[in-house]
Amino acid sequence: MGKKRAIEDAIRPITTGSTIMVGGFGLVGAPLTLIDALTKHDANELTIISNNLGEAGKGLGELLRQGKVKKAIGSYFTSNREVAEMYHAGKIDVQLLPQGTFSESIRAGGAGIGGYYTPTSVSTELAKGKEIRDIDGRLYCFEPALKADIALIRAHKADELGNLTYYKTARNFNPIMATAADYVIVEVDEIVKTGMLNPEEIVTPHLYVDALIYSEKILTKEGVIIR
């Protein structure tokens, strides 16, 4: 069926030392089935580009506990206090970016832009070591684009070609991450025949998608449950 894959085949390109973008805000919109598969996959020393590292022992938080994460690049690590504990223990490197900067850096990576200037973070610790330029009397900090070897994203529906739609706020960082990685694996609730999706609802075109898997875990108010 088009780009549908067994999960073991889908994640095979992930190797030790890979840089991986992972969608989601907290656990919302996170590809929980793919993350779970990654915890069982033989790949370590990973650089994870994600808004946060899940919660303690949940989502990317489980990957963190396993010691598979070498570096985390994101904005909101306070949702999992174990990130700070491991950082202070010297077990993980952390690069903190303001959330708008984080999002724009991924968008720039997907658009083929090497970087951009932003006033955000000027005169703060986050701007240390970065180029500062005066533009029309205002100081701007240069931020390089973010790209990854792999992106793990969560969508709602896909057709057999790999065109994607998203569900409400679960959309979050997923669409831009799909544009900024060399290999994109997508976890979806449903795969329909090509032509069944309303073209006006398609957010991510199939050209960005390399593999599709069915989601086996969903997030509810009570927590994560298995289908």
Domain boundaries, the chain: 7-112+145-226
In this structure, the chain runs to a length of 227
pLDDT, averaged in runs of 10, over the chain (227 residues): 90 98 95 96 97 94 97 94 95 97 98 98 96 98 98 97 97 98 97 96 98 84 58
pLDDT at 223: 62
Looking at residue 227, its pLDDT comes to: 55
pLDDT of residue 26: 87
Read off the pTM. Answer: 0.94
Q: How high is the pLDDT of residue 1? A: 54
Q: How far is CA 106 from CA 77, 109, 116, 176, 189, in A?
A: 18, 5, 11, 6, 25
Query: Domain 7-112+145-226 sits in which CATH superfamily?
Result: Glutaconate Coenzyme A-transferase (3.40.1080.10)
Phi, psi dihedrals of residue 180, rounded to the nearest 5°:
-115, 15
